[in-house]
Amino acid sequence: MPAGESNVDPIHLERVREMLFDSAAEGLVLVDRTGAIRMLNPRLLELFGYDNGELLGRPIEDLLPGTFRKAHTEHRKSFNAHPAKRHMGRGRDLFGLRKDGTTFPVEVGLNHFEVGNELYVMGLVTDITERHKAQEALQRNTAELEKRVEERTAELAKGAHAVEAAYQREKELNALKSRFVSMASHEFRTPLSTIMGSA
Residues 114-124 have a mean pLDDT of 90
Residue 197 to residue 191: CA distance in whole angstroms: 10
- Pick from 13-17, 46-50, 76-80: least confident: 13-17
- Arithmetic mean of pLDDT, 90-105: 90
For residue 4, pLDDT beyond 90: no
Of the candidates 23, 174, 46, 159, the one whose C-alpha atom is nearest the C-alpha of residue 104 is 46
The whole-number pLDDT of residue 127 equals 94
Q: What is the mean pLDDT of the segment spanning 136-152? A: 85
What residues contact residue 175 under an 8 Å CB cut-off, 6+ apart?
A: none
CB atoms within 10 A of CB 73: 15
**Long-range contacts, 184-191 (Cβ 8 Å, 24+):** none
Q: 8 pLDDT band (50/70/90 cuts)? A: low
3-state secondary structure 16-62: HHHHHHHHCCCEEEEEECCCEEEEECHHHHHHHCCCCCCCCCCEHHH
pLDDT of residue 63: 97
Average of per-residue pLDDT across 86-91? 67
Q: Is 57 left (phi over 0), alpha (psi -120 to 50) or beta?
A: left
Q: Band the pLDDT of 91: cuts 50, 70, 90.
A: low
What's residue 170's pLDDT? 86
pLDDT in tens, 162-171: 888 888 888 8
